[in-house]
Amino acid sequence: MGADYREPIFIKPEPRRKPVFVWLLAATAVMVAALTFDEVVEWKDGEPRLAKKRERQMQKELKELQEAEQYALIAKQPKFYPCLKCPAPTIFLNAGEVWKYGVTRKGQDGRYHKDFLIQNDLDYLPQFRGSLQECLEEEKRKIFQYPLLPENLVRPPPQRLAKPPGNLRTD
């Protein structure tokens, strides 16, 4: 029994513009959240140094740069999934097919809430661990090589994709 590749008919909604006050609110939040010199520097014996909290934050973020993860979000069941940059808004994926490739420094729990994965019938599958740079390179390779995956090549030619349906970037 083959995959059902019938395309549903959808009307593409007009993109909504964000009201000006939303942009002003966001800009205000950024300015309020900005750190001050006195919050990140403390003086000891007349010498400036990073505050302990700032030092811990720096060490944590440096460690995260060395402990990143490249992952795939995989379809859990055969059905139509959103296709973010396709001619049609959805595409049929079989169970086990790639919906998205990504990279995170925070692991599955820090990147996706379990409700998102459940509601979208997706599994999070770590594929590579290393530095952030190594993981970004691996993600790039997989996105560029996606057109050659057997799951993509078995689709009828008009439904073959240049990148996974869940990846927004135009790589």
Model confidence over 65-123: pLDDT tens digits? 889 999 999 999 999 999 998 889 999 999 999 999 999 998 898 899 999 999 999 99
Per-residue pLDDT band at 10 (split at 50, 70, 90): very low
Separation CA 150–CA 65 (nearest Å): 33
Distance (Å, rounded) from C-alpha 158 to C-alpha 154? 11
Residue 162 has pLDDT above 60, yes or no: yes
27-74 per-position pLDDT tens digit:
666 655 678 888 888 989 999 999 899 999 989 888 888 899 999 999
Instruction: Report which secondary-structure segment, H or E, holds 28.
Output: helix 20-33
